[in-house]
Amino acid sequence: MLVWAAAGCSSVVEGAAEPASGQEGLFDPCKDIPDSVLEEVGLDPATEEVDIAGVEQPGWKICSWTEPWYYFSIYSTESSVATTKQNSNYVGFKPLTIGQREGVEFHLQVDADLARCFVALPAAHGAIWLSVDTKLALEPKESTCELTERYANLLDRHLPR
The answer to whether residue 88 scores a pLDDT higher than 80 is yes
**pLDDT given for residue 6 in this prediction:** 36
User: Domain spanning 46-158 has what CATH number?
Assistant: 3.40.1000
**pLDDT given for residue 22 in this prediction:** 54
Q: How confident is the model over 100-123, as a mean pLDDT?
A: 96
Hey, where are the domains in the chain? 46-158
Q: Is 90 helix (H, G, I), strand (E, B) or coil?
A: strand
β-pair type (49-50, 101-108): unpaired
**pLDDT given for residue 5 in this prediction:** 36
The answer to whether residue 48 scores a pLDDT higher than 60 is yes
**pLDDT given for residue 70 in this prediction:** 98
- State percent of the chain over pLDDT 90: 81
Distance CA(52)–CA(28), nearest Å, equals 14
Would you say 23 and 59 are in contact if contact means Cβ atoms under 8 Å apart?
yes
Q: What angle do CA 14, 16, 18 make, to 5 degrees?
A: 120
- Tens of pLDDT, residue by residue over 70-79, are 999 999 999 9
